[in-house]
Structure 1
Amino acid sequence: MLALSNVQAFYGNIQALKGISLEIKEKEIVSLIGSNGAGKTTILKAIAGLMKPRTGEITFQGKEITNKSASEIVKLGISLSPEGRQVFPRMTVLENLEMGAFTRNDKAELDESFERIYALFPRLYERKQQTAGTLSGGEQQMLAIGRALMSKPRLLLLDEPSLGLAPLLVETIFQLIKEINEQGTTILLIEQNARMALMIAHRCYVLETGKIVLADEAKTLLESDAVKKAYLGE
């Protein structure tokens, strides 16, 4: 479904990605784990069109998207829920969700999407006329994911969805991620909580300083001594 081939990316003279090659298959959850600064968010930015790789190729469903704009990439079926949620604080929940659907104009399909989001996140329905800035951290995270889903993506990019949330809410968010995947959406997940990420993912790539150092099925990496020591606090 998605493939990166030898992708290199820079911030000025600093090389953030050093020849990244990976693939995501239809209906998988694939997680990226690694310490801060390993290049995880840069990979998502490159896929989403928010950063142009200096070299390498990104393809989605057989089409090259390496140099396409972010809005073109959303139209092709890739959507990003960014780190830090980045909801529009002065707009209502409903208006935030509408912003996520800016590429769509079929009213019947839009109504279906609203129904799907409110079924996944009943709290958003209760708060739909409330301004996003007054929501709790967990509610804002639900809104960020819901907004990303409003473009009806085939591939959902999730950047640190559990960041700053209470443990009970973390479990809720991960359960919802599983549910979204079971409904047919492919997911690429970045998550500091490596254990939770490995528990719900099908496969995982481990990054260190812009390179992939391990790649395997998630359940295999969950049992790996090296991963346990470096990322699971064991």
Structure 2
Amino acid sequence: MLEIHDIHTYYGSIHALKGVSLEVLEGEIVTLIGSNGAGKSTTVSSITGTAPASSGSIIFNGQDITKMKSCNITRLGIGVSPEGREVFGGLSVQDNLQIGAFTRKNKKEIAASYEEVYDLFPRLKERRKQSAGTLSGGEQQMLAIGRALMSKPKLLLLDEPSMGLAPNLVEMIFELIVKINKTGVTILLIEQNANMALQIADRGYVLETGRVTLSDSAKALQTNDDVRKAYLGSA
């Protein structure tokens, strides 16, 4: 579904991604783990076109999207829940979700998507008229994911969905990610919480200073000594 081949991405003179390659197959949950500054969010930005790769290629369902505009990438079926959630605090929950459906025209289908999101996140339905800025961190994360789902994505990019959340909320968010995947949405999960990410993923990639240093099944990465020492808190 998604194939990234040897991409290099720069922020000015900073060489953020140095030949990153990875793939996500249809139906999978694939996780990209790494420490702060490893290039995880830059990878998301390169896929979505907000920080285009200067070389290499990004192929989605057979189509080269490397230099495509972000809005057209969304139309092809890639949704993103960004790092830091980035909800529109002054707008209601319902309005935030409506923004997520900006590429769609069929009102009946959009109405059905609202119900699907509210089924997944009943708390959002209870607060649909509430300003997004007054929600808790966990509720804002639900809203960010729900907004991404409103575009009806084939591939959902989740950038640090557990960031800043209490442990019980982290567990709930990861359970919901599995539930979303079971509805047929393929997921690329970018996470610092490697332990949780590898528990739900099929496969994983380790990113260090802009390079993929390791890739394997999630189970194999969980038992890899280097991964355990660096990311799982055990030797």
Output the TM-score relative to the length of structure 1.
Answer: 0.99
Match of 1:9 in 2: 9
C-alpha distance in structure 1 between counterparts of 2:171 and 2:106, whole Å = 34
Match of 2:23 in 1: 23
C-alpha distance in structure 2 between counterparts of 1:36 and 1:131, whole Å = 31
Per-residue deviation at 1:112?
A: 1.1
Match of 1:172 in 2: 172
Residue 19 of structure 2 is aligned to residue 50 of structure 1: no
Match of 1:82 in 2: 82
Per-residue deviation at 1:8?
A: 0.3
C-alpha distance in structure 1 between counterparts of 2:213 and 2:200, whole Å = 21
Amino acid at match of 1:62: G
Q: Secondary structure at the match of 2:179?
A: helix
Match of 1:211 in 2: 211
Amino acid at match of 2:194: A
Amino acid at match of 2:14: I
Match of 2:66 in 1: 66
Per-residue deviation at 1:211?
A: 0.5
Contiguous gaps of at least 5 residues in structure 1 = none
Per-residue deviation at 1:108?
A: 1.2
Match of 2:195 in 1: 195
Root-mean-square deviation (CA, aligned residues, Å) is 0.5
Match of 1:143 in 2: 143
Identity %: 61
C-alpha distance in structure 1 between counterparts of 2:150 and 2:177, whole Å = 15
Q: How many aligned residue pairs are there? A: 234
Match of 1:127 in 2: 127
Q: What does the per-residue CA deviation read over 1:61-119, in whole Å, with 9 as the maximum and x for residues that have no partner?
A: 00000000000000000011001110000000000000000001101111110111000
Match of 2:223 in 1: 223
Contiguous gaps of at least 5 residues in structure 2 = none
Amino acid at match of 1:70: S
C-alpha distance in structure 2 between counterparts of 1:95 and 1:22, whole Å = 35
Amino acid at match of 2:145: I
Show the 5 A alignment for 1:82-101. 82-101=82-101
Q: Secondary structure at the match of 1:233?
A: coil
Per-residue deviation at 1:16?
A: 0.5
C-alpha distance in structure 1 between counterparts of 2:120 and 2:170, whole Å = 15
Residue 118 of structure 2 is aligned to residue 118 of structure 1: yes
C-alpha distance in structure 2 between counterparts of 1:219 and 1:196, whole Å = 12
Per-residue deviation at 1:7?
A: 0.2
Residue 48 of structure 2 is aligned to residue 40 of structure 1: no
Moved over 4 A (4+): none
